[in-house]
Amino acid sequence: MAGSSHLCVLFGIIGLAHSAYSAAQHRSYLRLTEQEFTRLPTDIFVQCIISLLLTCYGVINVAGKFREIRATVELEARSMDTLCNRPSFYCFSHRGQVLHRAEENQHG
C-alpha cells in the first residue's frame, strides 16, 4: 500500500505541475490573441482539482496510521499538585527585589 501511496503523490504533483503549465500557456495564448481572461478552461480546472485530491490522498496514506489524541491517559497519572506546576515559568530575578531593597533603604 505504501508504494501506491507514493505513486499517488508523484502523479498528483506531476498533474498539478501540468495544470499550472497549461494555465500559464492558456494565459499567454489569450494575450497573443488579445482576448480577455475570464476564467480557466474546465479541463484545466478539473485536472487541477483531481491532482490536488490525489496528492492529498497520497500524502495522508504515506504519513501512516493516525493515532488517537487522548490527554486523559497522560493526565490520569499526574496529581493535581504537579498538573499546574510549570518550573519553566519561574522567575527569580525580577524588579521586586530592587523595589524591596529601595524600600528598606528609605525606612532604615
Number of C-beta neighbours around residue 12 at 10 A:
20
**Per-residue pLDDT tens listing for the chain (108 residues):** 568 889 999 999 999 999 999 999 999 999 999 999 888 999 999 999 999 999 999 998 888 777 777 767 666 777 766 667 777 777 777 777 777 776 777 775
Number of C-beta neighbours around residue 54 at 10 A:
20
pTM: predicted TM-score of the whole model, two decimal places: 0.59
Report, in this order, helix, strand and coil percent for the chain, each rounded to 5. 75, 0, 25
User: Cell triple for residue 67?
Assistant: 493515532
